[in-house]
Amino acid sequence: MKIKLYQVDAFTNEIFKGNPAGVCILPGQTNIDNKLLQNIAMEMNLSETAFLIKEKNEYNLRLRGLVQTLKEKRYRAQLVRSVHIPKGFFDTIDHE
């Protein structure tokens, strides 16, 4: 399974500023349990990680989110960050 991972600097126009969050794009029809999602979020080591699951087309996405403290629910902020990834409304930095 191919998983695309992004780190998004939200609420800023400057690189390495703002509020960083992880965004993970998963293929549709993928049966991924919460433990794997938690492991991915721990690997990203950010306060929030959003998981976008592609459904039938690029406009049909499902959002799942994990935060470091499971009592917190900030899915609106995750949605704001993650919705920009599939549409390409962001600048990327390539590191080799």
Catalytic residue set: 48
User: Residues 79, 50: contact at Cβ < 8 Å?
Assistant: yes
Q: CA 79 to CA 68: how far, in whole Å? A: 16
Contact 46, 81 (CB under 8 A): no
Residue from 73, 95, 94, 90 nearest 20 by CA: 90
Put residue 35 in one of left, alpha, beta given phi > 0 → left and psi -120 to 50 → alpha: alpha
